[in-house]
Amino acid sequence: MATPDIVLTRIDNRLVHGQVGVVWTSAVNANLLLVANDAAASDPLQQELMTATAESSGVGIRFWTLEKTITTIAKASPRQHIFLVIKTPEDALKLVQGGVPIKEINVGNMHFSEGKEQISKKVFVDQADKDAFNELIDAGVKVYIQDVPEEKQDVLSKF
């Protein structure tokens, strides 16, 4: 199997919204948004809202569980320029450990919740997030915070 053309992998706890669906999709010339998230894969309402955003950008969209992403992404057509959107660092780690060829991860939004500390304007992490980021970095994945394409990448080092 050929390696899938993953043009960007982004962690964003909102998954697909205007910024992802319009700004990032055009910046990386993606023609397919792949939402790898177990909950979204089985939630028709979430899918409907995200599909509307994708359609406004003229790109296709798929909603797969993490497991389906691991077992199926290698079958992607070379014509598919995939923008992989995931919700958490832990999900990213599962995909990498499952063999999905992710070389870089863009961290967009990880909202505040109890027990999380702020590491950038829009990124809050707890120990589980830090552990997952450390494992990703150890696996050779470049992890960086970048809200919009015009901003400079803030590359994460181990916590």
Q: What residues are annotated to the active site?
A: 17
Does pTM top 0.85 for this prediction? yes
Closest CA to 102 of 141, 137, 132: 141
The answer as to whether 157 is a domain residue is: no
pLDDT of residue 1: 56
pLDDT at 22: 84
Q: Which range marks the domain in which residue 34 is found?
A: 5-147
Domain count of the chain?
Answer: 1
Q: What is the mean pLDDT of each run of 10 residues along the chain (159 residues)?
A: 90 89 91 97 96 92 98 95 98 98 97 95 97 98 96 95
DSSP code per residue over 70-124: HHHGGG--TT-EEEEEES-HHHHHHHHHTT----EEEEEEB---TT-EEEETTEE
**CATH at residue 64:** 3.40.35.10
- pLDDT score of 21: 81
For residue 20, the model assigns a pLDDT of 79
